[in-house]
């Protein structure tokens, strides 16, 4: 033990890095680390040049995707959560959806995953499903899409999940050649109305609602400039064929 209270033997036997002034390693000791980093970067560049991703990126905070045909259970779960969390925001109710048979949920999921007149987008937060929205062709308007069943879980609100869902519907509707997207929103739901205002939806027509229900609904519409699809048959012809094959499929739920 020296005069400063330090064990001289311990200092003498410690690596040179710990004995450097200020506790920092000598400059030359960083060279191997820098060389290793350069080698790793060079390897990543070689992988990228060969068409291979240099690393696997984790899920982003907010993302949307189309529902898959084998995700009937996810569709049912999100729908029931939505109706439980915000019963006044939807025309349907939990009781009715609980009575829907498993086979019907499977048909809904398959339709929403594959058809040109029915669509469900799922929003995820860091890869975990956090909400959904449906869009479908109303029975009397083949050139429109109706946005419905919109819901975002409370733990995913305020981060752009709702905006992402609206964007997904608008992009899909435009891709399908629709000329407008319409929706009904509860007059009491100020947050939803603000969301749709931001995305260019405007109030259309008078208030709607069922007598004795106590809720009033606003109809909102956003006009679209459809994407041209050279060589494709007119969308209306495709939808007429689909509707004849499955006339009851495009009902609201």
Retrieve residue 87's tokens: 């019963």
In 20-178, which ranges are continuous DSSP H helix? 31-49, 72-85, 94-98, 102-114, 161-175
User: Using alpha carbons only, what angle is made at residue 219 by residues 240 and 210, rounded to the nearest 5 degrees?
Assistant: 95
Each residue's pLDDT tens digit, 164-202: 999 999 999 999 999 999 999 999 999 999 999 999 999
Please provide the CATH number assigned to the domain covering 62-245: 3.40.630.30
- Rounded to an integer, what distance in angstroms lies between the CA atom of residue 120 and that of residue 181? 14
Q: Where are the domains of the chain?
A: 62-245
Q: Which residue has the higher pLDDT, 212 or 11?
A: 212
The Cα-based distances of 37 to 17, 28, 42 in angstroms read 20, 15, 9
Average pLDDT over residues 150-158: 97
Which single residue is written with the structure tokens 């410690």?
Answer: 14
The answer to whether the predicted template modeling score (pTM) of the entire model surpasses 0.85 is no
Each residue's pLDDT tens digit, 47-65: 555 565 555 556 779 999 9
| Angle of the 190-198 helix axis to the 161-175 helix axis, nearest 10 | 50
Name which of 17-31, 51-65, 208-222 the model is least confident about: 17-31
pLDDT band at 218 (very low <50, low <70, confident <90, very high): very high
């Amino acid at each position: 033990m020296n005069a400063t209270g330090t064990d001289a033997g311990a200092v003498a036997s410690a690596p040179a890095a710990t004995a450097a002034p200020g506790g920092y390693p000598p400059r030359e000791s960083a060279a191997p680390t820098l060389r290793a980093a350069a080698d790793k970067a060079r390897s990543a560049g070689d992988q990228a040049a060969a068409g291979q991703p240099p690393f696997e990126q984790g899920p982003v905070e907010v993302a949307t995707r189309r529902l898959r045909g084998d995700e009937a259970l996810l569709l049912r779960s999100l729908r029931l959560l939505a109706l439980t969390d915000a019963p006044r925001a939807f025309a349907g109710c939990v009781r009715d959806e609980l009575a829907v048979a498993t086979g019907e949920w499977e048909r809904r999921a398959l339709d929403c995953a594959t058809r040109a007149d029915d669509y469900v987008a799922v929003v995820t937060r860091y890869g975990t499903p956090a909400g959904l929205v449906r869009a479908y062709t109303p029975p009397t308007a083949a050139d429109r899409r109706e946005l419905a069943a919109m819901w975002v879980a409370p733990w995913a609100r305020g981060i752009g999940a709702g905006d992402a869902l609206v964007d997904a519907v608008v992009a899909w509707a435009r891709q399908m050649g629709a000329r407008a997207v319409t929706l009904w929103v509860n007059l009491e739901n100020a947050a939803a109305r603000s969301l749709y205002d931001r995305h260019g939806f405007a109030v259309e027509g008078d208030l709607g609602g069922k007598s004795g229900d106590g809720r009033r609904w606003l109809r909102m519409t956003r006009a679209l400039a459809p994407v041209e699809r050279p060589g494709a048959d007119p969308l209306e012809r495709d939808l007429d064929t689909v509707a004849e094959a499955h006339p009851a499929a495009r009902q609201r739920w």
